[in-house]
Amino acid sequence: MSNESIEQVISETYDAVIIGAGNGGLIAAAELAMRGVKILLLEQHNLPGGFASSFVRGRFEFETSLHELYDYGPSSDKGGTRRLLEKYKLDSEFVEVPEAYRLILTDPDEGVDVVMPFGIDSYLDTMEKEVPGSKESVSKFFDLAQDINRATAYIGQSKGNPDQNVLLKEHSNFLKTTAYSVEDVQNALNMPEKARSILNAYWVYLGVPTSRVNFTIFASMVYGYILKGAYIPKFRSHDYTTALDTRIRELGGKIEYNTTVEKILVEDGKVVGVETSKGDKIKTNHIVCNASPTLTYNKLIHPKSEVPEIAYKEINARRHGVSTFVVYLGLDATADELGLKDYSYFIYNNKNTEVLYESLNNLETPGVQATICLNNAIPDCSPPGTCIISITTAFLPGVWDDVKPEDYFTLKNKIAEDLINTFEKTTGAPIKEHIEEIEVATPQTISRFTRAYNGVVYGYEPDSWDSFVPRLMTMNDEKHIEGLEFCGGFGKRCHGYSSALKDGETAALLTLQDLHKKGELK
């Protein structure tokens, strides 16, 4: 067969082009296609999902990165993530995680080993039992979180232009806390230290110490998990991302894989098209970009002179979040045989999140791990007599850059062994003697897989000045190139699966609004 007969053929003009088939890009494509927009989704990989995927080793199918979905909820009390995915009528099933988490804190000054349940009342009762006298301050934390959720829902509905009088009158607690860190608010609530350690177990999902992480986003996340529970796709993330692929095509959208966008073409401050690695030049005045603004402004915008100085200042002012290091284990014993009763394990060697965060900045085994036993949520996710465990830790950007090729495998295997040893020691589960399959992914692995800057899995760190609320409030001011919207983990809602999915919808609706305003929809 000649090369000419297999060359890619793409229609010349589209209403909108979506760059990247990660969580945000897939939702943006589905939303626009559902509303009759002629779209083209371009993805450099050979399958959809980005980090929302799976892979097979031997008898086991491993979840690439997801631990649990926030704000999904049961059918009787649907969360925003569930309502969003159900809107597209996906043929994909989700199951509830049994408990919030087991926290094992090996801090020599104050050790903790506690299993925390879902449900606000149950959570408060368990906390009071573990830390007598803590219930009042933790209850106030959840009351504030409830107020914040109502306020952020209002801001989202206002598309970044909320009525200040409504905020002052109906959401005063939100305004009082939005500029503060988690530590600031917990200090004001006089929350006992041990209660903080237990409540703050989720900090690693944002990857920023509680002295810096914005209270608004942290409280919303914790409240969402504890109120509505956590869910995971029954057949791994690849199931719902391929379901989104199918739905986009059913709605008339076009998707091309193995196609890297090399240039976003801009003239006089306006998007005019894209150019791919295959030489295709595609005309469009609207792009939804699932790549980070850092990558986009530094590498994709063409010509470079079209990137305004303020765009560079904004991305340079932000800190990139962490990359991950994951040990995937397929074991020839069941969870029961190993003595593992829980799904989610947070294991920290220090109660001080500043110290834990700093441990991510060295080429040594971090003092942080978030581990899941998938079978305790999905019993039949692996063959009978087996189970799947994934141990995850993190590193700050660039830490692995100076590793010499000859040292790479030795270092990665040592860190993997240390993480397994820690899990064995803290849980009593004899992991090593039951390993049938093992795969280890470092930040370098992730960088190769997604081409993300320094293998960054999380987006920009959500400090108080750059968290969910400031990004929503200023999203109309941060449009530096007409026709370009960003979505995904670097977007307006910060990182995380649920945030990236919802951010895709927001980017699509803003693009749709622009298309209507300019009368460009046929």
Q: Show the CA angle centred on residue 425, arms to residues 419 and 426, nearest 5°.
A: 90
Q: Does residue 278 lie within any of the structural domains? A: yes
CA–centroid distance for 390 within its chain: 17
Whether the model pTM is above 0.85: yes
pLDDT of residue 522: 67
Backbone angles phi, psi at 493, to 5 degrees: -100, 10
Contact between 16 and 511 (Cβ < 8 Å)? yes
Q: Does residue 483 lie within any of the structural domains? A: yes
Q: Does residue 64 lie within any of the structural domains? A: no
| Residues 272 and 203 placed together within one structural domain of the fold | no
Q: Which of 389, 393, 347 is nearest to 372 (CA)?
A: 389
Sorted by sequence, the CB contacts under 8 Å of residue 399 that are 6+ apart come out as 360, 361, 362, 363, 443
3-state SS string for 445-506: HHHHHHCCHHHCCCCECCEHHHCHHHHHHCCCCCCCCECEEECCCCCCCCCCHHHHHHHHHH
Strands 39-42 and 16-19: parallel
- What is the span of the domain harbouring residue 220? 123-228
User: How many Cβ atoms sit within 10 Å of the Cβ of residue 342?
Assistant: 19
pLDDT of residue 153: 73
Length, in residues, of the chain: 522
Q: Does residue 41 lie within any of the structural domains? A: yes
End-to-end CA distance of the chain: 38
Residue 139 clears pLDDT 90, i.e. is over it:
yes
Mean pLDDT value of segment 133-149: 93
Contact between 4 and 471 (Cβ < 8 Å)? no
| Residues 143 and 216 placed together within one structural domain of the fold | yes
pLDDT of residue 416: 98
Average pLDDT along the chain: 92
User: How many structural domains compose the chain?
Assistant: 3
Residue 463 clears pLDDT 90, i.e. is over it:
no
Q: How confident is the model at residue 160 (pLDDT cuts 50, 70, 90)?
A: low
Distance CA 339, CA 297 (A): 50
| Residues 420 and 512 placed together within one structural domain of the fold | no
Token pair for 208:
């920023």
| Residues 428 and 326 placed together within one structural domain of the fold | yes
Q: Which amino acid is at 213?
A: V
Q: Does residue 273 lie within any of the structural domains? A: yes
